[in-house]
Amino acid sequence: DAKTTQPNSMESNEEEPVHLPCNHSTISGTDYIHWYRQLPSQGPEYVIHGLTSNVNNRMASLAIAEDRKSSTLILHRATLRDAAVYYCIQQPSGNTPLVFGKGTRLSVIA
């Protein structure tokens, strides 16, 4: 079963920042937090991942709480192309599969 909790849906205006929350209260010290997104009619694509420190890449930023029980995916300026389902995944160490939950459906309004 998925170990993370996310809101079912969120809405954002175009050109504004978006903060997508995720709770992972059962996280252990070696579990990573991964984020993927799925655009309509496509397979999921990797967005970002992290362990303890905040992470930035060209797509997004990941802010991880100090106690690691929650994290926030930050899209700095939402565009219409960012409308997708965003999945937050708690990934144990080792060569184990990713378990997806239902994710958050992000709508972006022009």
Partner 1 sequence: NAGVTQTPKFQVLKTGQSMTLQCAQDMNHEYMSWYRQDPGMGLRLIHYSVGAGITDQGEVPNGYNVSRSTTEDFPLRLLSAAPSQTSVYFCASRPPGYSYNSPLHFGNGTRLTVT
Q: Does 102 bind partner 1 (CB under 8 A)?
A: yes
Inter-residue contact 99 to 91 (CB < 8 Å) = no
Q: What are the residues facing 105 on neighbouring strands?
A: 9, 85
CA dist list (Å): 47 to 21, 26, 67, 110:
14, 22, 22, 23
Site string for partner 1, 62-91 (x = CB under 8 A): -------------------------x---x
The set of long-range contacts for 53-57, using a CB threshold of 8 Å and a minimum separation of 24, is none
**Which residues in the 14-43 window bind partner 1 by CB under 8 A?**
32, 34, 36, 42-43
Span of 12-20, 64-72, 74-82, 93-101 interacting with partner 1 by CB under 8 A: 93-101
For partner 1, the binding residues (CB under 8 A) are 2, 32, 34, 36, 42-46, 49, 87, 91, 93-103
